[in-house]
Amino acid sequence: MADVRVKICGLRSAADMAAVVAAGAGYAGFVFFPKSPRNLTLEQARLLAFAAPPGLAKVALTVGADDATLDAIIDAVPLDMLQLHGQETPERVAEIRERYGLPVMKAIGVADEGDLAMLTEYSLVADQILIDAKPPKGADLPGGNGLSFDWRLLVGRKWLRPWMLAGGLTPENVAEAIRLTGARQVDVSSGVESAPGLKDAAKMEKFVRAAT
Ligand SMILES: O=C(O)c1ccccc1N[C@@H]1O[C@H](COP(=O)(O)O)[C@@H](O)[C@H]1O
């Protein structure tokens, strides 16, 4: 599968960054969400971002972050993209995009066909759309739960913006997910871990190989 770009999310160590680079991923994601086992400090993220080679896009994942939080992240960490993974409205997405001048990727949780209208709505204001599984009610995390959705919902659909497929992807299922949905970009977090928050270099390598 040529030309598929992979995002590996939730890096926390220099070894994670080295493994992402060795695997050949196109995006590296840093999670700024205290409830997540992948949460990292500004200083950790800053060091990792400076260790990233040119061409690897550095993405900050936030969840309903206010301006002060985003200001602090952007001041500390050299970034290429913001991933908004909360309940941000289209107006808030547009505001963040304007305020920081960085491309914004808005995550939308999908469980059934009724959720697809939101993808169209957000594709009018975001630079990219991230299509993830909807989290279970009451879940601590709005993403990063290793849950997938029915990929057949995406068959034959088109959106105005580039999009990325996420949710429960693994080295074992990513090729089938790409084949079915036609995704040109995929995002993974828990599927390349040996325990929550602990990235596994061999799984990362296997994932990128299966996806590309
Ligand atoms: O990874 C996290 O901890 C996380 C926390 C809060 C919101 C989103 C999070 N991760 C994103 O969720 C999707 C799917 O992850 P998974 O592969 O199913 O574990 C992915 O886009 C991550 O960036």
What is the ipTM for the molecules in this complex? 0.98
Tallying the residues shown for the chain, one arrives at: 212
Alpha carbon nearest to ligand 1 atom 15, residue: 144
Q: State pLDDT tens for residues 121-150.
A: 999 999 999 999 999 988 999 999 999 999
135 CB within 6 A, ligand 1: no
63 CB within 6 A, ligand 1: yes
Question: Which of 11, 36, 61, 164 to mutate for ligand 1's pocket (most ligand atoms within 8 Å of CB)?
Answer: 61
User: How far apart are the C-alpha atoms of 126 and 106, rounded to whole Å?
Assistant: 6
Side chain identity, residue 89: T
Full domain range(s) for residue 70? 5-211
SS3 for the chain, per residue? CCCCEEEEECCCCHHHHHHHHHHCCCEEEEEECCCCCCECCHHHHHHHHHHCCCCCEEEEEECCCCHHHHHHHHHHCCCCEEEECCCCCHHHHHHHHHHHCCCEEEEEEECCHHHHHHHHHHHCCCCEEEEEECCCCCCCCCCCCCCCCCHHHHCCCCCCCCEEECCCCCCCCHHHHHHHHCCCEEEECHHHEEECCEECHHHHHHHHHHHC
Contact of 10 with 44, CB cutoff 8 Å: no
127 noted as active-site residue: no
132 noted as active-site residue: yes
Query: How many domains is the chain partitioned into structurally?
Result: 1
CA distances 103 to 77, 151, 193, Å, are 15, 26, 27
* Nearest alpha carbon to residue 24 among 38, 39, 10, 4: 4
Which pLDDT score, from 0 to 100, does residue 48 have?
A: 97
Alpha carbon nearest to ligand 1 atom 7, residue: 143
CATH number where 99 lies = 3.20.20.70
141 CB within 6 A, ligand 1: yes
Backbone angles phi, psi at 109, to 5 degrees: -85, 130
* Nearest alpha carbon to residue 104 among 123, 117, 121, 131: 123
Q: What is the pLDDT along the chain (212 residues), one digit of tens a residue?
A: 568 999 999 999 999 999 999 999 999 999 999 999 999 999 999 999 999 999 999 999 999 999 999 999 999 999 999 999 999 999 999 999 999 999 999 999 999 999 999 999 999 999 999 999 999 988 999 999 999 999 999 999 988 899 999 999 999 999 999 999 999 999 999 999 999 999 999 999 999 999 99
CA of 10 to the centre of ligand 1 (A): 8
Which pLDDT score, from 0 to 100, does residue 1 have?
A: 58
Which pLDDT score, from 0 to 100, does residue 2 have?
A: 60
Q: State pLDDT tens for residues 23-33.
A: 999 999 999 99
Question: Which of 5, 12, 31 to mutate for ligand 1's pocket (most ligand atoms within 8 Å of CB)?
Answer: 31
Within a 13 Å sphere around the CA of 92, how many CA atoms are in the beta-carbon half? 16
Contact of 29 with 7, CB cutoff 8 Å: yes
Which pLDDT score, from 0 to 100, does residue 197 have?
A: 95
130 CB within 6 A, ligand 1: yes
